[in-house]
Chain A
Amino acid sequence: MQVNIVVCVKYVPDATADRQFESDNTVDRVGVDGLLSELDEYGAEQSLQIKEKAGDDTTVTALCVGPEKAVDAVRKALQMGADKGVHVLDDAIAGSDAIATSLVLAKAIEKLGAETKVDLVVGGLASTDAGMSVVPAMLAERLGLPQVTLAAVVEFQGDQVRIKRDGDAATEVVGGTMPLVLSVTDQSGEARYPSFKGIMAAKKKPLDVWSLSDIGVDASEVGAGAAWTEVVETTARPPRTAGEIVKDEDGSGAKALTEFLASKKFI
């Protein structure tokens, strides 16, 4: 069976680095080391697992919107095993909000779909920078596709997809028919590390770079100027003042802990 999969991958500042804002209150995406958002690795992993089950006719395309360095996120997905990459790169995109990002992704997916019908659009739980967790739902809205999101377990048979989702108040089983938008959580299964062979093979895989005009998006629809929200101010959180730390000796720790909690009226 042939399944045409597009997996969305985001390039984010490394969460363990010193992340900052630019003077215009956008996320600094250049001055800080970046990488493929950890949570998107799970989307790539599930896409590859579906490919393995569905057979070799299946293609996995890694799609990324971001600045020049964001190509690293596409490369990582190719190294993991994706077949080809698309990087939407355009200076006008800088500062885009989730609304504009979802527009660019949707238009790029439509362009891919014009070549071969797209069966599955796959995303992660959230990005590790802005972390809104809304882009897959927005893509479903824009593309008019079923939204089968936040999967902890993914199963498919023919064109039927079934997921287990840990909802807010219940665990749900949700089903839909391809084409659809799927998003997966970090519960869906450990993402693979690229093998040496995978890293070498990735160098020969096709990687297209598209501009906004290639996908039919006007520059005025994206970027900071087109955002429907505006950051008023960003403030670094003052460092926490060092607290009191005691060493437990013969039960002194429990006593001190109880005293502390009582002094703060938690008991």
Chain B
Amino acid sequence: MSEVLVLIDHVEGAVKKPTYELLTIAKRLGEPSAVFIGPADKASEVADKVKKYGAEKVYVIDDAPLKGYLVAPKAEALQQLAEKASPAAILIPSSAEGKEIGGRLAIKLQSGLITDAVDVQEGPVTTQSVFAGNFTVTAKVTQGTPIITVKPNSAAPEESEGAAAVEEFSPTISDGAKTAQIVASQPRKATGRPELTEAAIVVSGGRGTGGNFEPIEALADALGAAVGASRAAVDSGWMPHSFQVGQTGKTVSPQLYVANGISGAIQHRAGMQTSKTIVAVNKDDEAPMFELVDFGVVGDLHTVLPAATEQINQRKD
């Protein structure tokens, strides 16, 4: 069986959940080989993690010579690894960087690229959600090595013990790939809440919050959810852009999405329409968001949410 390369999603060696989802998908297509581009001293720790989700091999690429530069060196490293391993497919997390790596890699390997897959089955045949979630598209790569970027929450991680044989790989990085220099990097402040794109539950606020996100955050914490925001709330300066859900922000597909004081413009719907269950609270009973909901409350979020939060916390006790 051919190898399937999975680029590990991590921050300084701390492996993120989408990695396990990708490994689970890779098992459907062949033998999962995890690719760790990161600090070499974290390699064995990372190998232990991916071993539990079926990684048969772990390629370790020390990022010391790469990490000062944007995207291009990682694409070069993956190209050289792919030429050596001849994988059946390459799976990459569908982050901003992941998609840019995929784009460059596709041209280097003369291979087809599919981005933002929400499912990948044998073939590989991918499923994507397009036009603000109004259409589902299935597609396949017809030339070269299929390169597929996969969105978070696209598979339930399945544990299965792999061999996780560590193999060091040292790519040759060209000078041409070292031209966009990362001058400074400020890690995002941890919120203590789940990552927005990976969360099972997202509680969002919009213009209707009037800038007060306390009721949103309290409900999110009661539900163990991530906090999101509409573009109106971000443009008003109430929340940082990293919280924005929608066409120009993050696309989320959680089990539960709670939209509060969000009218439901197409741009916002594009980012959340594929959520499994949708709930809205809004004063305006004509808000388009109510067309999408499984359950809606016409009312003021400033009274409904605190009361609901209290009741939820009581139930948990």
Interface residues of A (CB under 8 A from B): 15-16, 19, 21, 25, 39, 97-99, 102, 125, 128-138, 140-142, 144-150, 152, 162, 166-177, 180, 185-187, 227-237, 240, 242-248, 251, 253-258, 260-262, 264, 266-267
A233-B181 in contact (CB<8A):
no
Sampled A-B contacts (21; CB under 8 Å): A16-B266, A132-B113, A134-B113, A147-B72, A148-B70, A168-B97, A171-B186, A171-B188, A172-B185, A229-B140, A229-B142, A230-B140, A234-B136, A235-B136, A245-B296, A248-B298, A260-B295, A261-B279, A262-B315, A264-B277, A267-B312
A27 to B247, CA, bound (A): 18
B117 nearest CB across to chain A (Å): 11
Interface of B, helix, strand, loop or mixed by DSSP: mixed
A244 to B138, CA, bound (A): 32
The one of A141, A254, A255 that contacts B75, using a Cβ cutoff of 8 Å: A141
Q: A133-B115, A228-B141 are in contact. Are A174 and B180 (CB under 8 A)?
A: yes
A254-B308 in contact (CB<8A):
yes
Kindly state whether residue B172 has any CB partner on chain A within 8 Å: no
Residue numbers in B under 8 Å from A137 (CB-CB): 71, 99-101, 103-104
A243-B297 in contact (CB<8A):
no
B101 nearest CB across to chain A (Å): 8
Kindly state whether residue B303 has any CB partner on chain A within 8 Å: yes
Kindly state whether residue B218 has any CB partner on chain A within 8 Å: no
The one of A102, A133, A140, A162 that contacts B72, using a Cβ cutoff of 8 Å: A140
B219 nearest CB across to chain A (Å): 9
The one of A141, A185, A235 that contacts B248, using a Cβ cutoff of 8 Å: A185
B188-A245 in contact (CB<8A):
no
Q: A134-B113, A147-B100, A246-B296 are in contact. Are A99 and B186 (CB under 8 A)?
A: no
B interface, size bucket:
35 or more
Kindly state whether residue B108 has any CB partner on chain A within 8 Å: yes
A88 nearest CB across to chain B (Å): 19
B99-A132 in contact (CB<8A):
yes
B107-A176 in contact (CB<8A):
no
Residue numbers in A under 8 Å from B247 (CB-CB): 15, 128, 131
Tell me the nearest residue of chain A to B223, going by C-beta.
A266
Kindly state whether residue B170 has any CB partner on chain A within 8 Å: no
B187-A170 in contact (CB<8A):
yes
Tell me the nearest residue of chain A to B225, going by C-beta.
A266
| Proximity bits, B138-158, A CB within 8 Å = 1, else 0 | 111111100000000000000
Residue numbers in B under 8 Å from A180 (CB-CB): 179-180
B135-A257 in contact (CB<8A):
no
